């Protein structure tokens, strides 16, 4: 074989290998694109658990309205994304069942939607997003205690949650020892949600925080808990219960989800 024949043979072999390599990459890409992406949307509280209440407004109704509006946007615009709801009606879902639904669905993402409140007669304004963690700030601990207290409505909660007391600061120390492999992704999503609350809904940005939420503790995927606003602030409550407010909040979470998924 002369040198020119050698070069032709080598080039042909090289081109063949390149084509095979590209074909393999394309096949792999198509397989990855075909894999379903599962999003679990958790509307906090429900049924016999109204959540926070103020002047006739109930947290459970606000949470559900925003959750359904958010899910509808995903279903209509995000092909390949399967949306799973922990509840779609006004029913009581036990706290440990909510992350269990996500785990059984092998979800890629878990978003829990809540509405905030304070012990003050008139609450502040603004939205915030939480990831799993244990921050020492008293305000964060107070929010976690309030949201976790729903377990006291369940039968045998002491045994089910292995002695966890939602009103005891000591019970939250365990969260400081946990290593959440999904923390970085959760914090990234939380930041995107807060950005959208500012730009899309014009909300006061109360930032991203960490706290010991039981509903986030048991999930095996990136997860966040959103506090839409303060129901015990009259102007906030009016916004949270309005159609325009619900749509703007749902759109904000949807935009953040799309940016996160990209």
- Residue 254 has what pLDDT? 98
pLDDT band at 218 (very low <50, low <70, confident <90, very high): confident
- Residue 99 has what pLDDT? 92
pLDDT band at 12 (very low <50, low <70, confident <90, very high): low
Mean pLDDT across the chain: 84
Residue 41, pLDDT > 90, answer yes
- Residue 173 has what pLDDT? 57
pTM: 0.75
Residue 1, pLDDT > 60, answer no
Full 3-state SS string of the chain: CCHHHHHHHHHHHHHHHHHHHHHHHHHHHHHHHHCCEEEEEEECCECCECCCEECCEEHHHHHHHHHHHHHHHHHHHCCCEEEEECCCCCCCCCCCHHHHHHHHCCCCEEEEEEEECCCCCCCCCCEEEEEECCCCCHHHHHHHHHHHHHHHHCCCHHHHCCCCCCCCHHHHHHHHHCCCCCHHHHHHHHHHHHHHHHHCCCCCEEEEEEECCHHHHCCCCCEEEEEEEECCCHHHHHHHCCHHHHHHHHHHHHHHHHHHHC
Least confident of 28-32, 160-164, 258-262: 28-32
- Residue 62 has what pLDDT? 98
Higher pLDDT, 158 or 183: 183
Higher pLDDT, 27 or 52: 52
Least confident of 47-61, 133-147, 182-196: 133-147
- Rounded to an integer, the average pLDDT of 24-38 is 62
pLDDT band at 25 (very low <50, low <70, confident <90, very high): low
- Residue 180 has what pLDDT? 52
- Residue 244 has what pLDDT? 98
Higher pLDDT, 109 or 36: 109
């Amino acid at each position: 074989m002369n040198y020119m024949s050698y070069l032709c043979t080598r080039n042909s072999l090289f081109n063949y290998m390149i084509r095979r390599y590209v074909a393999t990459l394309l096949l792999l890409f198509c397989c990855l694109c075909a894999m379903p992406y599962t999003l679990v949307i958790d509307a906090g509280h429900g049924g016999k658990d109204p959540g926070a209440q103020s002047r006739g407004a109930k947290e459970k109704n606000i949470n559900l309205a925003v959750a359904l509006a958010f899910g509808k946007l995903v279903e209509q615009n995000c092909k390949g994304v399967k949306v799973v709801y922990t509840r779609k009606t006004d029913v009581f879902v036990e706290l440990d069942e909510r992350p269990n639904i996500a785990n059984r669905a092998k979800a890629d993402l878990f978003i829990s939607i809540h509405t905030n409140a304070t012990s003050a007669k008139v609450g502040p304004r603004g939205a915030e997003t939480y990831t799993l963690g244990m921050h020492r700030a008293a305000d964060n601990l107070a929010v976690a205690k309030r949201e976790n207290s729903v377990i006291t409505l369940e039968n045998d909660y002491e045994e089910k949650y292995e002695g966890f007391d939602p009103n005891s600061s000591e019970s939250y120390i365990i969260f400081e020892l946990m290593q959440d492999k999904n923390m970085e992704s959760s914090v990234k999503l939380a930041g995107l949600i807060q950005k959208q609350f500012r730009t899309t809904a014009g909300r006061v940005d109360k930032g991203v925080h960490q706290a010991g939420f039981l509903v986030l503790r048991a999930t095996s995927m990136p997860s966040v808990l959103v506090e839409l606003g303060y129901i015990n602030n009259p102007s906030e409550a009016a916004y949270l219960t309005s159609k325009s407010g619900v749509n703007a909040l749902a759109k904000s979470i949807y935009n953040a989800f799309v940016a996160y998924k990209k």
